[in-house]
Structure 1
């Protein structure tokens, strides 16, 4: 969006040691404002954001989300475009179904636009049924400047690698799609990257790497014969929700195996650009028959596809068109 002329300010509360684990330093394409996790600071940043032409409240900020949503709407200019950007629509919609008094129910009737990280028609229909004026999915994608092919790294040499933190709503699927196939494939080597797995009993042929930094993601993706994507429960149930990791792995030229979810063929062609597994048995069989030559061919095809159709520059053009439908200005300023 910055390359399209937007001036962007990103507000983030100083919580959960996020500043100690930053992926990047403050970028030149965005003004980053870190604020104290206090009610007073929250009101200050809401007032500051309220001066913008487009005011975005992201879901899951992590500090007083309901109060922040109310403050953002109260401080926004009357001529501003107000946006709720839902980064986990299946989870949010589930919460709204369970909590009829949730403040977002009322807020949806005040917000001009809901954007989501994927979800397809099911999410659009659900938000419209809840009173949203407009809902548009903006899917995850690839940044070719950060995720791209690199030389192989022997640290990550294996038959199948999975990168993902230990999460309650994904652990059972990790067991089914990764650990069970490892148990059945004693002659193959598996790598597990991500935090939280230290006390998990792992098969002997699974090596746990712990946290894998962003700078190593490309080598992690390109070195193994194949890498595995495993969706969280809510994403798998809803479909149409490709994780960022799907595009990052494809952008490095990886041969990607993914758990099955509705809509995968809209992004990558099964069997040609991605391999789809319905369960752990499928993963085991794919690994048994997958040759290095075929793995390289699938990775190369996936790379061509994501560069042609699934970059963040293309996603930004979609968002820009949506914004400009609401008002036409040569230059706009956005705050999140």
Structure 2
């Protein structure tokens, strides 16, 4: 085992999974780090929309602390940031640009960025939207960990001047995501927060199949869906499903649907955590298509790729139980081998250790930001 690391993560949220995919991603990763003996301090901005929806306020696998402003972050945690073996700032952190400037000025040993929204981030930067990261800050990070792999890593280094772009896909906590053995309640389900760019695909791959198959049962779980959506009578709605209930939810579906954000589809190589969660629970996946998907989970063997309504209808109507089980087993084998929090933690630690130590002071860091 390697020497235990002290890691500070400044992320969007660990305490609340409401309306975001960051919390479950961080939880699986940090549990893996804990299992390997590493120590993590997670710093989260105390905001009312997460404070009122916390489903993990006091984790047992890391230290979770809240801050109310960038000034408080620096004044309270400067010593921890400077002493850490690595500091990782996440995407969509409130006032992320100011946070990065402030943390860089403290001269951490290794400064990294974990972009859990890489295609969205790059699309925002391309149009001059620097909500949580400035284009000029990208070269500042010793390591740019990316939710997306493949060609995206080359783009990060070539077009955005990242020093070192490293794929770090989301992952699943294997101890918490397992099949519960419950009876099937739905033929097809979907778990995800409402997104305008995903909704047409959800219409095509779940709502239209539900209309065509009135004798089957469907479910959509997730918040923020508009009240004017015309849900068929055989589609059940669940507003919010906390992570503790995800395994039961997946286990009660014959198939589950994965729908991908438009920016992620355009970039490719951007697997959602839902793919790995469903795979770990032994629920076969029907997914929209994007480049790199069948490199992770081969089409027809470990999942079913659907482009049209008819593809979903065919899968639900024609795949027999033996084939359904074979697809689920193949996906679970791949996920358990390569996409658990423990596996991802090992990748993160190896990458951090391979990054060079910093030999410059805070002034030179700020010079690099403004260059």
Return the TM-score normalized by structure 2.
0.81
> Aligned to 1:67, which of 86, 93, 98?
98
Whether 1:292 and 2:325 are equivalent positions in the alignment is no
- Identify the residue that residue 138 of structure 1 maps to in structure 2: 168
Give CA-to-partner distance per residue, 1:194-238, whole Å, 9 cap, x none. Answer: 112361211122111221222221111112211111111111121
| 1:125 positional shift | 2.2
Q: Map 1:164-313 onto structure 2 (within 5 A).
A: 164-197=192-225, 199=227, 200-313=229-342
RMSD of aligned alpha carbons: 2.1
| 1:241 positional shift | 0.8
Equivalent pair of 2:186/2:252 in contact (CA under 8 Å): yes
> Aligned to 1:57, which of 89, 101, 111?
89
Point out where structure 1 has 5 or more consecutive residues left out of the alignment. Answer: 329-336
Whether 1:324 and 2:356 are equivalent positions in the alignment is no
Equivalent pair of 1:90/1:119 in contact (CA under 8 Å): no
| 1:134 positional shift | 0.5
Return the TM-score normalized by structure 1.
0.89
- Identify the residue that residue 5 of structure 1 maps to in structure 2: 37
| 1:186 positional shift | 2.0
Give CA-to-partner distance per residue, 1:154-196, whole Å, 9 cap, x none. Answer: 6xx0111111111223222211221122222222211111112
Q: 1:236 to 1:74 in 2, by over 3 A?
A: same
Equivalent pair of 1:81/1:112 in contact (CA under 8 Å): yes
Whether 1:15 and 2:47 are equivalent positions in the alignment is yes
| 1:244 positional shift | 0.4
Kindly tell me the number of residue pairs found equivalent between the two proteins.
Answer: 322
What SS does structure 1 have at the residue aligned with 2:214? coil
> Aligned to 2:78, which of 31, 47, 50?
47
User: For residues 101 and 176 of structure 1, what CA distance do their matches in structure 2 show?
Assistant: 33
What SS does structure 1 have at the residue aligned with 2:279? helix
Point out where structure 2 has 5 or more consecutive residues left out of the alignment. Answer: 1-32, 358-371
Equivalent pair of 1:89/1:119 in contact (CA under 8 Å): no
